[in-house]
Amino acid sequence: MTGFAVWGPERVGELLALTRTRYGADELSVDELLLSCHERGGVVLGADGMGAVAVAVGRSDDGALVASVRLVVTHAPSPEDLDPLLDAAERWAADRSAARVVLGGGLPFALWPGVPVGSIVERAAVGRGYENGRRWTSWRVPSTFRAEPPAGVTIRRAVRDDDVTLVMVAAAASWPRRSDEIARALEHGTCHVAVASPGGADTVVGIATHSIARAGWTGPLIVGVGQRRRGVGRALLGQVCRDLMIAEFDEVIVGEVPDDGAVAFLRAVGAAPGESFVALERPI
């Protein structure tokens, strides 16, 4: 990694300016960059006059060590200019025994859910042998959207200690892969929980989160398997939209769309297609 040095948090302003210039991501904040690039063992490797790359290593669902490249940005606008940056990230990951490298997404708190389709990052990665995986389109939901919960279900912001505990227990039992993101939303007060009380005991039937790594973007929005197609998801999304309308967002961005069922749900609430992403990775 000749010529590269670790850019600490004190250089986040420089990294933010570079990101806004090359990605047009004017809505990104210093706090969001610090979270995605420096927390959870993340490091930013930079070279003056060349650019910077943010990478971290963590465990994937299958237990393997995986490197997640959360941001790569160059001073020059061509795919070839990204090669030294990706070289640096891959070598750093190899030194930490990572089994593979994932671009975008991959680990909690990513700035983008995948690699933007048509970007220089996609072109550079494909040229380096990264494999094209699933492609999907994000969706934009008008922040004016609202929906009432079905009978027997109450939705509230999870801020009371008992609700926070209820959500964390449910996440650990049913959605462990999303526990870190849910915990972050609970800390920020951006987690809504849908509760049913059969027999008098509160039971979590769904959760919705937002503004974890990116303000205005949804985080985990999950409805329990036995509670789907009842309107729980619509009501939870409506609460997220209410929060973000109050924060003066015109739209809510749903960046992670896992399947056709999710697409049908989003169309039904009046969402419009947004930016497209692709999952890219390669073994080390």
At residue 23, does pLDDT exceed 80?
A: no
Q: How confident is the model at residue 57 (pLDDT cuts 50, 70, 90)?
A: very high
CA atoms within 13 A on the CB side of 45: 21
Domains 5-136+279-283 and 144-249 alike in fold:
yes
Which pLDDT score, from 0 to 100, does residue 2 have?
A: 65
Cβ neighbours for 32, distance < 8 A, ≥ 6 positions apart:
111, 213, 214, 215
Instruction: State in words which class domain 5-136+279-283 has.
Output: alpha beta
Q: What angle do CA 165, 244, 179 make, to 5 degrees?
A: 30
At residue 10, does pLDDT exceed 80?
A: yes
Q: One-letter amino acid identity for 230? A: R
Pick the CATH number of 144-249 from 1.10.730.10, 3.40.190.80, 3.40.50.970, 3.40.630.30: 3.40.630.30
- What is the DSSP code (8-state) at residue 127? H
Q: What are phi and psi of 118, to 5 degrees?
A: 85, 0
- pTM for this predicted structure: 0.90
- Where are the chain's structural domains? 5-136+279-283, 144-249
Give 142-185 pLDDT, tens digit per residue: 999 999 999 999 999 999 999 999 999 999 999 998 999 999 99
Which pLDDT score, from 0 to 100, does residue 104 have?
A: 83
Sign of the dihedral through C-alpha 238, 241, 243, 248: negative
DSSP SS3 for 92 = helix
Q: If we measure between CA atoms, which residue out of 197, 269, 267, 201 comes closest to residue 239?
A: 269
Containing 235, the helix (H) or strand (E) segment is: helix 232-246
Give 235-261 pLDDT, tens digit per residue: 999 999 999 999 999 999 999 888 889
Q: What is the mean pLDDT of the chain?
A: 92
Please provide the DSSP assignment of 11-35 as one string. Answer: GHHHHHHHHHHHH--TT--HHHHHH
Using a pLDDT cut of 70, give the percent of the chain over it. Answer: 98
Bridge partners, 54 (sequence order): 44, 71
